[in-house]
Structure 1
Amino acid sequence: MAFDFLKPVSQKVLAHTELLSPQALGHSIYKHTEQEGLPVLAGATFALLGVLESRNAFVKKTSRLNLDEIRIQLYKLMQGNWEQGVLDLGDIEEGETVKDTYFVVREIIAGLLEENIIPVIIGATQDITYPVYRAFDGIKDMVNLVSVDSRFDFGADEELISSNSYMSRIITDKPNNLFNFSNIGYQSYFNAQEEIDLMERLFFDAYRLGEIASDITLAEPALRNAHLVSLDARAIRASEMGMHDAFSPNGFTGREICAITRYAGMGEDISVLGIFEIENNMQSYQLVAQMIWYFMEGHNFRVDESPSDSHPDFTKYIVPCDSEELVFYKSALTSRWWVEVPNLISAHTKSNSAALLPCTEKDYLDACDQNIPERWFKAYKKGFN
């Protein structure tokens, strides 16, 4: 069993938990301990999991990620107004080879997915996204991946997999289960024009940092149907992470990144959250802990909705455009919007009804002005491939 490779939560963390307020989150988390072993999986909503593999870092890590301190900062946060079972399964150490680590990660994540438990991965390097993606093999035919990152991480064709090139492997390796890839927060000066062109050719979605920072709600539709969210901490500005090296002066603020993880938790299809490229300092530990807290809170307030013109909670809007007739739905309950994409029937929904693409009110207003939303156009074109 791959779960046998998990290292228990340290005695240091357990001792610190005993000193916390009774209302602290740490008291309600079921922990993998040396004395008690693994907690029971049944009934849990989330499973915390540390991954210490860092040998494929694009820039060599000078120190081991201090997962104990991240746990301490998370455990001391107050329990939210929710009743969701949280497990802490401990950590995956580096295997004899990187492939060994990848195998263990893949098997553990697959086991949790089969139990309908959402893994929350805290990892040293973002290449761990690759084995996490592979964990969906045989479980889900089509996977929507969202990366919160200043870079697309395609890398060079001949380059070995690394934290800056794992996406190339995801796109090219068989079986190819990737249905859609969205990037939130890319910064143009970190990405070659060829990478930006590739995103366009594959009809993937990309949102520049400035675009999201000016209206954080634009991130919500991209995250609504995500199965896997991979977050590179280097997308956060250096001052927010207490860092000087390896981080950029431009990036998301702490408030913005917590809003993004909250939106991720609210997603109706969210199956895995991974937070990677974390560095060792107190400000970083605190922010990562708060991001996880907001993810859990978002999931607690998640509303599963299925728009239809016969449901009283939805209003249907038909917008005639020059070449297409777009059909939008708005929820009276959450004020969220969707738009039909007719030709995604066989590719995504495998049914006789049009796929519903999450969108914004601005997309509807643009359509009313005869401007077809870019996300709709990309999804429409993708259906022919």
Structure 2
Amino acid sequence: MADLNFLAPVPDAVVAYTEVLSPQTIGKKIKIHTKEHGIPDLEGVEIVLLGVLENRNDVNYIGEDFNLNEIRNAFYKLFPGSWSTKLADLGDIYKGETVEDTYYALKETVSELVKLKIIPVVLGGSQDLTYPMYRAFDKIIPMVNLVNVDRNFDLGDLTQPIKNDSFVGKIILEEPYNLFNYATIGYQTYFNSQEQIDLMETLYFEAYRLGQVSNDITLVEPVMRDANIVSVDLGSIKASEVSLNQKVSPNGLDGKEICAITRYAGISNKVSTLGIFEYKPSKDDEITCILISQMIWYFIEGVNNRVEDTDFKDEHIYQKFITLVDSQELNFYKSIKTGRWWIEIPFLNEINNKLKRHTLLPCMHQDYLDACNNKIPQRWFKAYQKNCV
């Protein structure tokens, strides 16, 4: 557990707050890293909270500090669902001497936790912290899928140093090249240049507009089912749902939608890290903290309801459907257990393709219906094109 030594304990004031809570609340059931008792035993723990008090690479940074005490208080006083999932709060990673020091601490901590099959829920801080979360997977899996819930693509100027609006550019450009797919959920066109929108298309990345997501929240499910890392920018939430300093745009996801999105992330069997970023406390702070605590609650609810349904070696647990679209044979698989759908991506044997572990792509029933009507599913097309690159 040496790599967890970067962690500072949960503040005494927050620990003291748990003393007055009802015995049935999360605060009474969660294992807490305290000054008195140190890091708790993580045996059997499946999800941990991890604060990162770093915001120096925020493009609007003016030297302000923040803490996560109110978020913890709001989360601790919630009542758990009918969960078997064990939780722990590992405390905070403080700002390092440099931002790179903080990145290193976060990368090593997340890497250690993922190796232990523990899901860290990272609370921050500026969203560039997604970059060290991504780098934590360098020696764990060969290719990484990243989902960003955001109004922006965060591609930024690829030639400039990393900031919270350009961290994806660094992920794309820097070796080792481990990024397979990047998807943005809830983007708003007027916050993104046409050049960036075109670049997303050129790279065959996925982008779902706010209107699409609001009209049909189930679009999010197959995207999350294929994600390893999910990063949420609180700026994607509409101004009426959050506190004064948190207000970014009158348009955005509402509270119900963002909680549904984190629940989909939890249900995904592949999501092994969730980050919630761009928290900016203010005097009327309570509503944002309550919303974040509910987002975490729904993520845990999702994890607790995970069902393994990808054993496609057993013909008794799935149905296979074959369609023909423009002379291209498409193979669909439907889990009998959950009703979830996948589409097969064929190998291109003549090239050194990246898809050795991505032969089945999560999709929706609608994709199958579209294929029956001679329409190629967009997710399949983009994954296929990436395989050809």
The TM-score by the shorter chain falls in which range?
A: over 0.9
Q: For the residues of structure 2 that align with 1:379 and 1:258, how far apart are their CA atoms?
A: 28
Task: Report the Cα offset of residue 245 of structure 1.
Answer: 6.3
Contact 1:261 1:294 in 2 (8 A): yes
Counterpart of 2:117?
116
- Secondary structure in structure 1 of the residue aligned to 2:316: coil
Task: Report the Cα offset of residue 4 of structure 1.
Answer: 2.3
The CA deviation string for residues 199-225 of structure 1, in whole angstroms up to 9 with x for no partner, is 111111111110011000000000002
Q: For the residues of structure 1 that align with 2:37 and 2:307, how far apart are their CA atoms?
A: 36
Q: For the residues of structure 1 that align with 2:207 and 2:120, how far apart are their CA atoms?
A: 25
> With structure 2 as the length reference, what TM-score do the two structures score?
0.95
Counterpart of 2:172?
171
Contact 1:307 1:331 in 2 (8 A): no
Counterpart of 2:374?
370
Contact 1:344 1:379 in 2 (8 A): no
Task: Report the Cα offset of residue 315 of structure 1.
Answer: 1.7
Task: Report the Cα offset of residue 98 of structure 1.
Answer: 0.6
Task: Report the Cα offset of residue 7 of structure 1.
Answer: 1.3
Within the candidate set 350, 354, 358, 2:356 is matched to 350
Contact 1:236 1:254 in 2 (8 A): yes
Query: What amino acid sits opposite 1:350 in the alignment?
Result: K
Task: Report the Cα offset of residue 227 of structure 1.
Answer: 0.6
User: How do residues 327-342 of structure 1 correspond to structure 2 at under 5 angstroms?
Assistant: 327-342=331-346
- Secondary structure in structure 2 of the residue aligned to 1:94: coil
* Deviates most, 8-17 or 309-318: 309-318
Q: Say whether residues 1:301 and 2:305 are aligned partners.
A: yes
* Deviates most, 77-86 or 305-314: 305-314
- Secondary structure in structure 2 of the residue aligned to 1:106: helix
Query: What amino acid sits opposite 1:16 in the alignment?
Result: Y
The CA deviation string for residues 264-304 of structure 1, in whole angstroms up to 9 with x for no partner, is 00111111000000121111000000000000000010111
Query: What amino acid sits opposite 1:321 in the alignment?
Result: V
Counterpart of 1:94?
95
Query: What amino acid sits opposite 1:320 in the alignment?
Result: L
Q: CA RMSD in A?
A: 1.6
Task: Report the Cα offset of residue 62 of structure 1.
Answer: 6.6
Return closer, same or farther for 1:61/1:359 CA change in 2, 3 Å cut-off.
farther
- Percent sequence identity over aligned pairs: 50
Q: For the residues of structure 1 that align with 2:124 and 2:17, how far apart are their CA atoms?
A: 22
Q: For the residues of structure 2 that align with 1:28 and 1:344, how far apart are their CA atoms?
A: 50
Contact 2:204 2:386 in 1 (8 A): yes
Q: Say whether residues 1:143 and 2:149 are aligned partners.
A: no
Aligned length: 383
User: How do residues 151-162 of structure 1 correspond to structure 2 at under 5 angstroms?
Assistant: 151-162=152-163
Contact 1:344 1:355 in 2 (8 A): no
Q: For the residues of structure 1 that align with 2:143 and 2:149, how far apart are their CA atoms?
A: 20
Q: For the residues of structure 1 that align with 2:383 and 2:376, how far apart are their CA atoms?
A: 12
Task: Report the Cα offset of residue 344 of structure 1.
Answer: 6.9
Q: For the residues of structure 2 that align with 1:25 and 1:337, how far apart are their CA atoms?
A: 34
What 5-or-longer segments of structure 2 have no aligned partner?
none
Counterpart of 2:287?
283
Contact 1:307 1:329 in 2 (8 A): no
Task: Report the Cα offset of residue 323 of structure 1.
Answer: 2.8
Q: For the residues of structure 2 that align with 1:161 and 1:310, how far apart are their CA atoms?
A: 46
- Secondary structure in structure 1 of the residue aligned to 2:244: coil
Query: What amino acid sits opposite 1:285 in the alignment?
Result: C
Counterpart of 1:235?
236
Q: For the residues of structure 1 that align with 2:110 and 2:220, how far apart are their CA atoms?
A: 25
Query: What amino acid sits opposite 2:49 in the alignment?
Result: L
- Secondary structure in structure 2 of the residue aligned to 1:53: coil
Q: Say whether residues 1:48 and 2:49 are aligned partners.
A: yes
Return closer, same or farther for 1:61/1:347 CA change in 2, 3 Å cut-off.
farther
Task: Report the Cα offset of residue 231 of structure 1.
Answer: 0.5
* Deviates most, 314-323 or 160-169: 314-323
Q: For the residues of structure 2 that align with 1:379 and 1:307, how far apart are their CA atoms?
A: 21
- Secondary structure in structure 1 of the residue aligned to 2:92: strand
Contact 1:234 1:277 in 2 (8 A): yes
Q: For the residues of structure 2 that align with 1:347 and 1:19, how far apart are their CA atoms?
A: 57
Query: What amino acid sits opposite 2:114 in the alignment?
Result: L
